[in-house]
């Protein structure tokens, strides 16, 4: 699959893009958020949560590693930044969290890609030309994204037009 790209110009647009992505997600989906520190991974995750129908405040799980949010499609929000070894993720029961019942969003997922399902959405956020610009690159990997590719492309196109 070809990488899809969009550029957001501030955190509000990044959040709105997350909402559009969240609206496409289904229970069992895994979303990997990659990019350097401070590039907007948690802002995008907060938008995804809103798109899933979560109304409570979503906060970064950097220090707790995992936060769970209840909704019609629950969200498991994971941040592996502070983990030193993949085994720590297993020790936290990650295998039980990633399943058919919830959407799982993993910040810094490139660090644990070996233990993630191959069927996933990978989102890379990178600084753009302006101070608040973000280039968002999305790769939909696996069979389950085949029938959602057009919807995914439309969500990114809408983000560029807003």
User: For the domain that residue 110 is a member of, what is the CATH number?
Assistant: 3.40.50.300
CA–CA distance, 101 with 75 (Å, rounded to integer): 9
When divided into structural domains, the chain yields a total of 1
What number is the average pLDDT over the span 30-36? 94
Element (H, E) at 32: strand 30-34
Q: Which residue has the tokens 């990650």?
A: 94
Chain centroid offset of residue 158 CA = 18
Q: What is the pTM of this model?
A: 0.89
How far, in Å, are 13, 37, 42, 105, 156 from residue 131 at the CA level? 14, 14, 18, 26, 21
What is the per-residue pLDDT for 122?
95
For residues 112-129, give the mean pLDDT. Answer: 88
Range of the domain at 27: 4-161
3-class secondary-structure state, position 138: strand
pLDDT at residue 42, rounded to an integer: 93
pLDDT digits 0-9 by tens, 43-101: 999 999 999 999 999 887 665 677 889 889 999 998 877 655 555 655 565 666 666 78
* Stronger pLDDT, 60 or 125, i.e. the higher one: 125
């Amino acid at each position: 699959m070809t990488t899809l790209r969009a550029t957001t110009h501030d955190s509000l647009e990044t959040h709105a893009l997350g909402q559009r992505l969240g609206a496409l997600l289904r229970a069992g989906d895994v979303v990997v958020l990659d990019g350097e520190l401070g590039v907007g991974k948690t802002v995008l995750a907060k938008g995804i949560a809103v798109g899933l129908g979560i109304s409570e405040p979503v906060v970064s799980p950097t220090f707790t590693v995992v936060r769970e949010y209840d909704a019609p499609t629950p969200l498991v929000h994971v941040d592996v930044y502070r983990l030193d070894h993949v085994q720590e993720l297993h020790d936290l029961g990650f295998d039980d969290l990633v399943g058919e019942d919830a959407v799982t969003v993993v910040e810094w997922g490139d660090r644990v890609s070996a233990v993630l399902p191959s069927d996933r959405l990978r989102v890379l956020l990178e600084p753009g030309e302006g101070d608040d610009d973000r280039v968002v690159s999305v790769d939909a990997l696996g069979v389950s994204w085949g029938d959602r590719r057009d919807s995914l492309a439309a969500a990114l196109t809408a983000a560029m037009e807003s």
